[in-house]
Amino acid sequence: MNEGSGQLTADVSGKGHEGRLGASAAPDSHDPAWVPGRFGRGLRFLGEDNQYVALARPATLAPARITVAAWIRRLGTPGRWRYVVSSGGQDCKFASFGLYTGPTDGLAFYISGGGRYELSPSAAASTAWDGAWHYAVGTYDGAHVRLYLDGVEVGAGSPTGLAIDYGLASREVYLGTYRGSCERPFTGDVDEVEIHDEALSAAEVAAEAAAAAQRGQPPQAAPVTGPPAGSPGLRTCLSVRVTPRRLVVHRHARVRVAVRQRGQAMVGKRVVLRGRGVRVVARTGRKGRVRLRVRPKHLGRLKVTVAGQPRRCSSARLKVRRARS
pLDDT tops 80 at residue 311:
no
Examine the pLDDT at 310 and tell me if it is beyond 60: no
Domains of the chain and CATH, by start: 8-213 (2.60.120.200), 239-321 (2.60.40.1930)
Percentage of the residues of the chain whose pLDDT score is greater than 90 = 74
What is the rounded distance in angstroms from the CA atom of residue 147 to the CA atom of residue 155? 8
- Give the integer Cα–Cα distance in Å for 129 and 74: 5
**Mean residue pLDDT across the chain:** 90
Q: Give CA–CA dist 116/128, Å, rounded.
A: 26
Please say if the pLDDT value at position 29 is more than 90.
no
Give the C-alpha distances (Å, rounded to integers) separating 298 from 119, 254, 301, 322, 324.
Answer: 61, 17, 9, 9, 16
- Tens of pLDDT, residue by residue over 44-96, are 998 877 789 999 999 999 999 999 999 999 999 999 999 999 999 998 899 99
Predicted confidence (pLDDT) per residue in 228-243, tens digit = 655 443 445 678 899 9
Plot region of 139 (φ>0 → left; ψ -120 to 50 → alpha; else → beta)? beta
Residue 294 has pLDDT above 90, yes or no: yes
Respond yes or no on whether the N-terminal peptide bond of residue 244 is cis (omega within 30° of 0): yes
131-173 residue pLDDT tens:
999 999 999 999 999 999 999 999 999 999 999 999 999 999 9
Beta strands 246-248 and 315-321 are parallel
pLDDT for 279 beyond 60:
yes
CA dist 215 to 39, 188, 210, Å?
A: 8, 22, 9
